[in-house]
Amino acid sequence: MSEHLIAAIVLAAGKGTRMKSALPKVLHNIAGQPMVRHVLDAVEPLAPAETLVVVGPDMDNVAAAVQPAKTVIQEDQAGTGDAVRVAVEAMSTRTGTVLVLFGGDPLIRTETVSRLIAARQAGASVVVLGFRAGDPTGYGRLILDEGGALEAIVEDKDASENQRAIDLCNAGVMAIDAACIEDLLARIGNDNAKGEYYLTDIVGLARNDGLNCSVVTADEDELMGVDSRADLARAEGLWQAARRRRAMDEGVTLLDPDTVYFSHDTILGADVIVGPNVVFGPGVEVGNNVEIRAFCHVEGAKISEGALIGPYARLRPGTEIGKDVHIGNFVELKNTTMAPGAKANHLAYVGDSEVGAKANIGAGTITCNYDGFEKHKTIIGDGAFIGSNSALVAPVTIGKSAIVGAGSTIARNVAADALAIERSKQIDLAGRAKAFREDKAAAKAAKKKG
C-alpha cells in the first residue's frame, strides 16, 4: 500500500573538517566498513522503495562507496534543510514516509528506524528521533506539550534556563510524511547567523499547520554522531562491545572479550572458542567447533568445522581451511586451500597453493609463489609430507603421499609416493673444530699481550 512506502535519504555531503582528513567523514571505517554503509545497512531490511545519498561536489569516492544507492549532489551545501530539499526533488516517491538519516551516525539500528516509521504511519506528520542525554549541553532540546506531542526543537544557544534543564535531545534523524514534505521544506527560511536552511525548522512549520509531530527515543550511545577522530574511536569501541556480546549470546566463547576485534561481516558458528588478541578482518566465515588461539589475524578466509588455528597465525584473503585442519604458530596462509585434516603446525608460509587431505607441512617450509612478475601455484597431494625448512619453487606439484626431505629446494614436480631430496653433499673434517677453536684462542691471547 502506498502509505507504507518508504524512501530513505542519507545526508553525506559534510567534509568533516574536524577529522583533519582528505577522506570524507562518512568514508572513515567502523569495523572495517565506511560509516555511511553502516547506515545504509540499517535501512536495507526495511525495503525502502528508493534510497538517495546526498553528497557534495567532487565526492565521487562517496558515490562509489554507497552503490547501488542513488546519489544526488548538494551544490551549495546550505544546511540540512537544503540537503533534504535537493534529495526530495530527485525522489520519485510522493506517498508514504521519507526517512532522513545521517551518514556519520554508524551505530543506528534497524529496530530503531522501524519504530520511527511505525510512529509516522500511526498518524504523525513529522517524527523526530531523540535521546535522554547524560549531559545535554550543546544539543537541541525537544520540547513536548502537555499531551506528549513534539511542540518544538530549540537549539542550545537559543534555549531558556528552564529549557536547558530538559535532557530530551534531538538526534537529527526524522521520519516525515511524503505528502507534506515538499511544502514544509519550501517554507524553511535562512534568517540565522550562518544563513543556512535547518531541517529542524519543519517541526514549527508543521505545528503551525496543525499537523501532529511526535518523538521516538533510543539510547544515547546508539545515536552518537561521529565528528572527530576521538568520536571515531569511541564509536568503534561501542560497536565492538555490542558485537562481542552478540557473539557470546550466540554460543561463542571469548576468553578475553575486550581484546577480540570483529569486522562488520564476521560470521561465527556455534561452540567457537576465540583466544585473546584475535583480529577478524573483512570476509571471514568460521564454522562450528573451531578454536582460534591467541594473537591470530584472520581476513578474507573461510574456516571449516573442527579446525584449530594459532596461536600467532595469519590467514590472508583467499584462504579456505578444511575440516579438522591444524594451523599453528607463526604460519601464514594466502590464497590457499587446506583440505580436511591437513597440518602446518610451525613457522611456514604457504601462498597460492592447494594442500591435500592429511598432508603435513613441516616447520620452516615456504612456497616460493612469486617470481617478481607473476604468482604461481603449488599443489601438494593428499597425504604428502613436506620436511622442515623446504622451499617449494612454484609452479610445482608434489604428488599424493610423496615425501620431501628436510632442507630441500624443490623446483620440479615430485611423483606420487616418491621421496625427493635436494641437498649438498655433507663433508666432515675430523678434528677440525678443535683445531679451529685452538687457533682462535691463541690469536686472541696474542692480541691481548700486544
Catalytic residues: 346
φ, ψ for residue 52, nearest 5 deg = -120, 135
Residue 386 near residue 362, CB atoms below 8 Å: yes
Residues 251, 270: Cα–Cα separation, whole Å: 5
Q: What residues pair up with 215 in beta bridges, in sequence order?
A: 128
- Cα→Cα distances 421→385, 399, 403, 407, 429, Å: 12, 14, 9, 8, 23
Length, in residues, of the chain: 450
- Report which of 289, 318, 277 is spatially closest to residue 301, judged by C-alpha positions: 318
Grid cell, residue 302, equals 573461510
First to last CA, the chain: 103
User: Phi, psi at residue 319, to the nearest 5°?
Assistant: -90, 135
Instruction: Using alpha carbons, select from 140, 24, 27, 13 the residue that is nearest to residue 78.
Output: 13
d(CA 27, CA 33): 8
